[in-house]
Amino acid sequence: MLHETRSRIPLPFAALLLLVASSACAARQEATAKPEPAAAHWSYSGDTGPDHWGTLDEAYFAAAKGVAQSPIDIVTGAAIEAQAPALVFTAASVPLTIVNNGHTIEVDCAAGNSVQFGSQTYALKQFHFHSPSEHTLDGRNAALEMHMVHKMADGHAAVVGVLIQEGATNAAFDAIWQHLPATPGPEVTVPGVTIDPTSLLPADRGYYFYDGSLTTPPCTEGIRWFVLKTPIQMSSGQIAAFRKAYYGNNRPVQPHHARIVLRTP
């Protein structure tokens, strides 16, 4: 664990980014050397639950052997402050294409939305939800967590995590919540309905940053994580509507190992 006083010292982001990258370099190299995942069944409980993911298929090796796994508990007082680039989101309305895939409810996104981090631009591919949240802040889960999955043309991925707390009704989700598929089935594009994914984000886009993994099999490492510092709200009714389909679809937090968590001021 880093000493808390370090978190009060703003440091150049480029230098800290090298530290973050080096702390998971070996894990990334190992991950890229393994084969693509097979279609082994996995779940969130029992013999196919998170404790067993690493044994279900050779392609899921990182779930058991990785040293840069996600999610993690973010200790806010220990995160190191860095003068980091802002996350710049490009907005575009896209058709609502939604699917209950048996693990979560996912919204797939047509081209047009992206996030820029310094000189790197990642295209938004899809976003989905976990309840309760997968990441925790100081040991506490939020009611839900939204993961916005982005990729660069070369395949490198970044995920923006948004914590969702119980509070006021969030009208930005109305179009999606009106079409939540209750049971697994094929992907559906809802006629005449469009969404702007950036409208789902908080106004303050400050973030915690670390190097991690996918939170579902194959749990591939080398994923850049940006967990927004400011949560959004949903009403108890909105939360309950999602939980009718999924509750407990969250992987437990994973060890930090030698990783560093950065935060914007």
The residues annotated as belonging to the active site are 103
The SS3 of residue 147 is strand
- The Cα–Cα gap between 201 and 127 comes to 12
CB distance 101 to 216 below 8 Å: no
At 221, which helix (H) or strand (E)?
strand 221-228
Strands (E), 92-220: 94-100, 105-108, 114-117, 120-130, 136-137, 144-151, 157-166, 188-195, 207-213
What residues form DSSP beta bridges with 122?
115
CB distance 223 to 122 below 8 Å: no
What residues form DSSP beta bridges with 232?
164
Residue 265: what residue type? Answer: P
CB distance 204 to 139 below 8 Å: no
